[in-house]
Amino acid sequence: MPQPGDSFITTLKQAHLEWGEFRHTNSRQITIGEGYLQIPADEAYRHEITNNKSTLRSAEYDFSTFDDFIVDGKLLAAGNQSRPEFAKQFQGSGHLKLLGDWYNHINAQIDDKIEIKFISATEILLTKI
């Protein structure tokens, strides 16, 4: 379980910035403006970031952004790693454009770095660094 002060950095790629458009599947229609944050496998395991397949804890996190563009938002730890109960991404909980809206606001680009810092076990602060 994440501890206050734990953090990791993820690097944005095209798929993270254009999730609804830049796809390698036809599982759903193109949707402009969606975004997500990758959770590297080693970070998911180290911080025990689990998805809805785990009964150990909720997969939903409260979050805010460093610039207060988003305050009291909700992220969902989703997808799965090779160990299926561990999440591979954070996405807006029920709102897949939530991170895309923030990326647009901060003019996020490919190779920008985002710090994911745990304020508590269930609260995250996102910072573009």
Domains and CATH numbers, the chain: 7-24+31-128 (2.40.330.10)
Q: Which residues contact 90 (CB under 8 A, 6 or more apart)?
A: 36, 37, 39, 61, 75, 76, 77, 78, 99, 116, 124
Of 11-20, 26-35, 85-94, 100-109, the poorest mean pLDDT is in 26-35
Q: Are 113 and 17 in contact (CB under 8 A)?
A: no
Indicate if the pLDDT at residue 25 is higher than 70.
Answer: no
Q: What pLDDT score was predicted for residue 24?
A: 54
Closest among 50, 39, 58, 54 to 126, alpha carbons compared: 39
**Mean pLDDT computed over every residue of the chain:** 89
Q: What pLDDT score was predicted for residue 55?
A: 75
Indicate if the pLDDT at residue 42 is higher than 80.
Answer: yes
